[in-house]
Amino acid sequence: MEIKELEKKFIINTYNRRPETTILIKRGEGVYVWDESGNRYMDFVGGLAVNSLGHCHPAVVEAVCRQAEKLLHASNLYYTEPQVRLAEMLVRYSVADKVFFCNSGAEANEAAIKLARKYGKQKRGADAHEIITAERSFHGRTLAAVTATGQPKYHQGFEPLVSGFRYGRFNDLDSFAALVNEKTCAILMEPLQGEGGVYPANQEFLAGLRRLCDENDLLLVFDEVQCGIGRTGRLFAYEHFAVEPDAFTLAKALGGGLPIGALCVRGEAADCFVPGDHASTFGGNPVACAAALAVLEVVLGSGFLAHVEKMGDYLMTLLRQLQSSPLADVRGLGLMVGMEFDGDGGALAAYCQERGLLLNCIGGKVLRFLPPLIVEQEHLDVAVTLLGQALQAVTGQEKQAKVENVTDGRLDEACLEECS
């Protein structure tokens, strides 16, 4: 049997893969992936913000191989050096004082939820367990994390949900203030909403949440699972807003392709958990931590984050040159960008895939751009040129091509070679 047939037979159907349209990726390098037929694609999905340094970055591969030869796993009953070194590095470059490691963003948010509840009971009384999150948010697929997610479509079929979550309107401080009561223990917030449609918070809103938490002795927790580790042009997205959280969660880009999550906590809350309160068998795995250390060394290298910021500005400029009806909006931070389309966004993404560009469509209308942070201007030129052709094909509106050797077929090989 072919892989696609085997997948249908043996894998539980939780992803909308379709054999006729879903490619089988065989290998990746840098900005590109190749399918089973040898076709090359520019990957602007990036494992949904995981492959931040592109595919198989040499520094990450070398770190993984070196550590795999020494130690693959050891119980957290014992010390391992990569785990401690990674925690030290995260603390050094953030507001955190201590770190808890797990394996994914949902797990990191679960840890944050448990920490917030325990902190609330200690500081505000036995009833302080409620957490306020935002409408349109996304915090993961586990039961508590999906309840924290402010999108009813993710709740359907899993009721009864975990009690103790309330939802305010994103960028509406008054709606959050109105929800605070004697049962509140924390506010959980994405500084830049991802799955909800790529919506950045505004500075006044986040600063207001900080004041609200300070006035009521609540924890302010930022979910940086998708927007953290350089994605926005800063190491952490909260740095754009001059607002320091009490805790923040990481995953996705942290491991450069390997599964790892982290809850980073500062101040009194960092000592809230005690042995037995929380754990993760695979959390802080030495190979994943070695990969994460390599990622951080690259991201913190001279000029890297400035490059991300420059490329993000350039991408937004290119997309806004295309912006007219039926394009409703272009928004984002750094290289986390959403282009809202008043039409079938899935058709645009499909057109691009057929011609060698991988994009993600969320909510049927928003194309989400998550290119590797190593992307260059030439890659963005090609991608947006192709997108302009897709708009012309899907809507009939003519968009001027930017790169001459992008044809009506797949991306011209010579053009792709120029970007390699």
DSSP structure string for 17-46? --TTT---EEEEEBTEEEETT--EEEESSH
Of residues 215, 180, 305, the one with CA closest to residue 253: 305
**Using alpha carbons only, how large is the chain's radius of gyration in Å?**
22
Arithmetic mean of pLDDT, 14-21: 88
Distance from C-alpha of 125 to C-alpha of 181, rounded to nearest angstrom: 12
pLDDT in tens, 382-417: 999 999 999 988 887 544 444 444 444 455 554 545
Q: What is the pLDDT of residue 378?
A: 98
Return the C-alpha torsion angle 345, 351, 353, 357, nearest 10: -90
Distance from C-alpha of 410 to C-alpha of 420, rounded to nearest angstrom: 16
Continuous segment of H or E residues that includes residue 67: helix 58-68
Long-range contacts of 142-147 (CB under 8 A, 24+ apart): 142/106, 142/107, 142/110, 144/109, 144/110, 144/113, 145/106, 145/109, 145/110, 145/113
Listed by start position, the domains of the chain span: 3-57+302-419, 58-299
Distance from C-alpha of 370 to C-alpha of 209, rounded to nearest angstrom: 28
- Categorize the per-residue pLDDT at 322 as very low, low, confident or very high, splitting at 50, 70 and 90: confident
Q: What is the pLDDT of residue 343?
A: 87
- The CATH code of domain 3-57+302-419 reads 3.90.1150.10
Q: What is the pLDDT of residue 379?
A: 98
Question: Is 283's pLDDT higher than 50?
Answer: yes
Of residues 49, 39, 3, the one with CA closest to residue 362: 49
Contact between 251 and 261 (Cβ < 8 Å):
yes
Domain 58-299 in CATH 3.40.50.1460 = no
